[in-house]
């Protein structure tokens, strides 16, 4: 999926005026009902489709919020993966439907995850950056309890904004592109962190910090 990053950024920013609320944890039932987000790139088209599919539903507000959030997160992730895969040492996943692998860097496979800095994390941002491995452990323990739950290699981009509107940074594609490029230029597989959450199984992970103060 090769789409203009500028176009994706323009569409993502159309979602920003709406409050970011899920109303529920991500679940397989709502996922099935909203899978049209994958083939809907334009935000105005998304709004039209939501109205057409769910306009007469009693839980319309729930479905509306859920859909625009999934759409926003998905297309931001598409942009991130496109940025990574622009580097010669990065290869996209052979199977685009593989939920556990998005791309490989120097032959090491990763699931990419862009995450906001968790509001219930017990360390302030400066301390969290110094203790990056602790936040990685927290993410593996607390994230993705539905379809994407797994203990495989994962590369996190963690977003932090001083105004606490961390989620809005997912739309700042050109800004994130510079941060990813800086990380990839200095990429060294020996600096990746290793964890063992299961017996005899080692995983590799890292965090790319995207902090706007």
User: Could you read off the pLDDT of 28-68 as tens digits, one per residue?
Assistant: 888 999 999 999 999 999 999 999 999 999 999 999 999 99
The partner residues of 209 in beta bridges, in order of sequence, read: 158
Question: CB–CB of 63/71 below 8 Å?
Answer: no
> What was the pLDDT predicted at 148?
47
CA distance 49 to 35: 12
Residue pair 117/125 in contact by the 8 Å Cβ criterion: yes
Q: Tens digit of pLDDT for each residue in 64-101?
A: 999 999 999 999 999 999 999 999 999 998 765 555 68
DSSP state of 192: S
Say yes or no to pLDDT of 22 above 50: yes
What is the model's pLDDT at position 44? 97
12, with CB counted inside 10 A (0-12, 13-18, 19+), is buried
Lowest mean pLDDT among 7-21, 56-70, 118-132, 192-206: 192-206
pLDDT of residue 196: 84
Per DSSP, helices labelled H in the chain are: 5-13, 28-33, 43-54, 60-84, 125-130, 132-142, 173-185
pLDDT given at position 85: 93
What average pLDDT does the chain have? 90
CB atoms within 10 A of CB 27: 12
Give the pLDDT confidence of 105-131 residue by residue, as tens digits.
998 999 999 999 999 899 999 999 999
Closest CA to 104 of 31, 9, 192, 197: 192
**Beta pairing class for 103-105 and 154-161:** unpaired
In the prediction, which pLDDT does 134 show?
A: 96
Instruction: Report the percent of the chain where pLDDT is more than 90.
Output: 76
pTM of the model: 0.89
- By the 8 A CB rule, do 204 and 156 touch? no
Per-domain boundaries in the chain? 5-212
What confidence tier does 201 reach under pLDDT thresholds 50, 70, 90? confident
- Whole-angstrom Cα distance, residue 150 to residue 168? 26
Bridge-partner residues for 207, per DSSP? 156
What pLDDT was estimated at residue 198?
A: 74
Residue 103's φ and ψ, nearest 5 degrees, are -165, 170
Q: What is the mean pLDDT of residues 135-153?
A: 75
């Amino acid at each position: 999926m090769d789409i203009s990053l500028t176009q994706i950024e323009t569409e993502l920013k159309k979602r920003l005026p709406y409050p970011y609320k899920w109303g529920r944890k991500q679940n397989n039932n709502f996922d099935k009902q909203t899978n049209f987000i994958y083939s809907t790139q334009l935000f105005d088209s998304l709004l039209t489709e939501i109205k057409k599919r769910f306009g007469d539903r009693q839980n319309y507000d729930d479905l509306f919020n859920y859909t625009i959030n999934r759409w926003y997160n998905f297309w931001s992730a598409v942009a991130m993966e496109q940025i990574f895969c622009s580097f010669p040492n990065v290869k996209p996943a052979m199977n685009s439907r593989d939920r556990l692998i998005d791309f490989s860097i120097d032959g090491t496979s990763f699931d990419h995850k862009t995450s906001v800095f968790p509001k219930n994390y017990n360390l302030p941002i400066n301390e969290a950056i110094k203790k990056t491995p602790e936040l990685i452990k927290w993410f593996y323990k607390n994230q993705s309890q539905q379809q994407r739950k797994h203990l495989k290699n994962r590369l996190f981009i963690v977003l932090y904004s001083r105004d606490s509107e961390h989620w809005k940074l997912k739309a700042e594609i050109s800004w994130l592109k510079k941060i990813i490029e800086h990380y990839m230029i200095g990429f060294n597989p020996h600096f990746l962190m290793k964890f063992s959450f299961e017996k005899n199984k080692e995983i590799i992970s890292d965090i790319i910090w995207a902090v706007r103060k």
